[in-house]
Amino acid sequence: MKNALRFLAFLGLAVLLFSAAVADRTEVVSVAKSAGRAAWLAAQGFDLLAEHEGRIFLAVSPEDLARLSDLRLPFRLETARLRAGLPAEPAPAGGINGDYHSYRELEAELQTLARDFPSLTKLSTIGQSLEGRNLYALKVSDNAAVDEKEPGFLILGCHHAREWISVEVPLLLARYLVENYATDAAVRDIVNRGETWVVPLVNPDGLEYSIHVYRYWRKNRRLNTDGSFGIDLNRNYGYKWGYDEVGSSGTPASEVYRGAAPFSEPEADACRRFFLEHDFRALVSYHSYAQIILYPWGYIDAPTDQDAALAALARKMAELMLPVNGRLYDYDRAAAGLYTTNGDTTDWAFAVAGIPAFTIELPPLDILHGGFFNKETDILPIFQENLPALLFLTRTAFAAGMPGTDGEQEARTAAPPRRGGDRGKD
């Protein structure tokens, strides 16, 4: 049975990777893992997908394949080998990106919510992307048109273009709050107490490129001085920006290139200005994949002065997620639980405001369970398991502002067991 399950997981990976390769002229290759090789490949600008069973998986263009040959690095071409015998994949029900939202589809849905719930929502444009797309923020609150100086909770999605699921969870939360306000006393209490702000798409240019050109695209679409494209928006925030060459890179072609200066990118700078204009008491930035709740610090493997309180909140959120679909989210300091990052969103928010700030890496757990390629049927279950954690954190933020009183007391519960496993690099 175990071998059969492993084969099915491998077959699922094969379908996903091959489908992506056909659409994008992208190949997936693997190279043997050795000490320091993953970091070296990242520094050379290769797109690392995951490490699994002694191999490092890369998404490569034809130019990247030529570079691997020039570097005399032996690699295994995975996509061609996986093609034979794979079942045909049905076309997505909603077009090229299926039930996932493109920029225009998201814009239309946000405008519809604002039109249908005018007393509970306010739609704002907080800036524009490099290519001139609006960055939208939807406020959910009673008397949303009025600035009542209430505490706020900020939810961000899609810093990284290929993480389509990270758009959907924030959007579905906004919809849930307004659609249940009239009938659910707990929702009504949250909406009346404060301002929930949802920015579901930080990187619209990258998302459009991921949909129409290259499914694995991660960064924004900045043309760099060396002719490469893109800056990792989640390495472009100001706190500990460029702290080292491990948590970000100064090489423009790298997938974790931090840019020429802190907040050099209009998308990250718009989030900075918007954050500083409001009294936010908590922040969640959604990503995929790894199925883990992360909190500062990310730039170094060391605790903050609020480590115990942040861990208690993360533990409670994981506990609330678990019974919905039986899916276990781990939780840890970012540098310890996943990998080091410098110049990221949550380190910056915690450093400048001292608030609970979390990166939630959505499912799946690893590349063998789909990686960045969540099925359309996964969207609602993933939102549903995140919903109780979001409602809990919102209540905590609006009641206390910082973990320590109501929030920490409620979080003192039995923790779900920790677990390990291969995780993707994102």
Mean pLDDT over residues 387-415, rounded? 64
Instruction: State the pLDDT at residue 86.
Output: 38
Report whether pLDDT(425) > 80.
no
Rounded Cα–Cα distance for residues 299 and 335 (Å): 7
Given CATH 3.40.630.10, say whether it is the number of domain 103-411: yes
* Alpha-helix residue ranges (DSSP H) falling in 194-326: 204-212, 266-276, 307-325
Report whether pLDDT(426) > 80.
no
Report whether pLDDT(59) > 50.
yes
Give residue-wise pLDDT tens across range 305-322.
999 999 999 999 999 999
Between residues 59 and 222, the one the model is more confident about: 222
C-alpha distances (whole Å) from 160 to each of 234, 243, 260, 313, 402 are 8, 21, 18, 25, 28
Per the CB < 8 A criterion, the answer to whether 245 and 299 are in contact is no
Per the CB < 8 A criterion, the answer to whether 282 and 396 are in contact is yes
Report whether pLDDT(351) > 80.
yes
Per the CB < 8 A criterion, the answer to whether 355 and 393 are in contact is no
Percent of the chain at pLDDT exceeding 70: 82
Task: Please give the structure tokens belonging to residue 300.
Answer: 């170094």
Decide if 277 is catalytic: no
* Alpha-helix residue ranges (DSSP H) falling in 162-293: 165-180, 185-193, 204-212, 266-276
The single-letter DSSP state of residue 245 is S
Residues of the chain with CATH 3.40.630.10: 103-411
Rounded Cα–Cα distance for residues 232 and 343 (Å): 10
The single-letter DSSP state of residue 37 is H
Rounded Cα–Cα distance for residues 284 and 313 (Å): 12
CA quadruple 372, 212, 384, 11: dihedral sign: negative
pTM to 2 decimal places: 0.80
Give residue-wise pLDDT tens across range 87-122.
344 445 556 788 999 999 999 999 999 999 999 999
Rounded Cα–Cα distance for residues 376 and 370 (Å): 12
Strands 152-157 and 195-199: parallel
Residues in a beta bridge with 330: 292
Report whether pLDDT(1) > 90.
no
Instruction: State the pLDDT at residue 372.
Output: 83
232 C-beta neighbours (distance < 10 Å), count = 27
Residues 6+ apart with CB under 8 A from 417: 328
Question: Which residue, 55, 60, 28, 20, is CA-closest to 44?
Answer: 60
71 C-beta neighbours (distance < 10 Å), count = 13
Q: Which helix (H) or strand (E) holds 108?
A: helix 103-116
Lowest mean pLDDT among 63-67, 336-340, 388-392: 63-67
Instruction: State the pLDDT at residue 263.
Output: 98
Percent of the chain at pLDDT exceeding 90: 64
Residues of the chain with CATH 3.30.70: 2-83
Given CATH 3.10.450, say whether it is the number of domain 2-83: no
Which position among 255, 267, 361, 408 bears the catalytic label? 361
Give residue-wise pLDDT tens across range 205-257.
999 999 998 888 999 999 999 999 999 999 999 999 999 999 999 999 899 99
Rounded Cα–Cα distance for residues 314 and 335 (Å): 15
pLDDT tier at 180, thresholds 50, 70, 90: very high
